[in-house]
Amino acid sequence: MYKQRRWETEHGSIELTTDAKAKRTQHIAALVAQAYGHWRRGDEPGAEALCLDILKADVANAGALHILGVIANRRGHHRDASAYLRRAIQSDPKLVDAHIGLGEALRALQQFVGATAAFNRAIELEPHNGRALSNLTQLQQLVGRFSSKFDYDRYGPEDYSSDNSLKFSGASILIIAYLSRHFIYPIIAVASGMFLRRSNLDMTAPVVLLSDSTLVLASIPAVLVFVLSALCKHSSPAWMRWSWHHGRVLLLSAAITDAALLIRLAKAEFDGPLTIYLVLDTCIVLYILLSRRLQDTFASFPTRAPLAS
């Protein structure tokens, strides 16, 4: 006797056995079609309720997620819409309407690069889709064309900031923090000393510092990159743009200078910690030279200030 399970909804129930998967799939497809019917007739509450019910049985159902995303878009809940539509695309990457809907949601959120990427992906799937072409044309007229090097397959909309610049990856953030450490050490030392004095403890601050202050020189380029990432805007002067686009050179100089100063201070006595630092600096240099994401990050730049939707 087959083990049975029961799926119940407000719109009917179906007894499922291990041999009834096809029947279950057909039943869900019929409910999705019914939800599309509610939506096309303007019955958004009915469509929404049915889609939420469908997701209880099939959490990754692309059709139900798409309808919920469209409804959220119409209600002005664009963040919720983008979340639903991303899930729909994850379930069915060829669902053209979901890509278009995602582009519309991101455009409303003023994430113009991501919106452009979503519309482009829809056009790749259906080159003559009038809705996608119209949306892309209107968006390009609004904010201008974006660099074609940032393609949808390499980066997703979530990889871009609201000012349309490519975000640093997690690895890049860690590298910048590491190369900036000679600026961070003194701050930690001062903070630790103040805490110990307040606590009336007669002991050395529990921070291991490299004694030579010239090491701070190695951190200056990395700190400059951090400052630029915070200050760069679409209206930034030419020198700031030039500095940002040469960010990889700044990080390379920080890593190489760090290694050179450590070797000089150690006077060729390669103990354990120094060896670890040099290995890290070598890996960082290779990452800076080879990382396409880091190269594209410094190639991008805020295109415009956020525009009112």
> Which domains are seen in the chain, by residue range?
5-159 (1.25.40.10), 170-299 (no CATH)
Question: CA nearest 156: which of 121, 129, 126?
Answer: 121
Quick one: pLDDT at residue 2?
A: 38
Do residues 108 and 124 make contact, with C-beta atoms less than 8 angstroms apart? no
DSSP 255-277: HHHHHHHHHHHHTT---HHHHHH
Q: In whole angstroms, give the CA distance from residue 98 to residue 132.
A: 11
Token pair of 268, please? 């060729």
pTM comes to 0.51
Tens-digit pLDDT string for the chain (309 aa): 333 444 444 455 444 455 567 777 788 888 888 888 887 888 889 889 988 988 888 888 999 899 999 999 999 999 999 999 999 999 999 999 999 999 999 988 878 878 888 999 999 999 888 899 988 888 877 665 444 444 444 666 667 776 767 889 999 999 999 999 888 776 666 655 554 455 554 444 344 444 456 788 889 999 999 999 988 887 888 899 899 999 999 999 999 999 888 888 776 555 667 888 889 999 999 999 999 899 988 988 776 544 333
Q: In whole angstroms, give the CA distance from residue 166 to residue 151.
A: 12
Token pair of 259, please? 């290694």
Question: CA nearest 84: which of 109, 59, 108?
Answer: 59
Do residues 180 and 219 make contact, with C-beta atoms less than 8 angstroms apart? yes
Sequence-distant contacts of 263-268: CB under 8 A, at least 24 apart: 265/210, 265/212, 265/214, 265/215
Q: In whole angstroms, give the CA distance from residue 30 to residue 67.
A: 14
Residue 8: which H helix or E strand, with range?
strand 5-9
Instruction: Tell me the sheet residues that pair with 13.
Output: 8
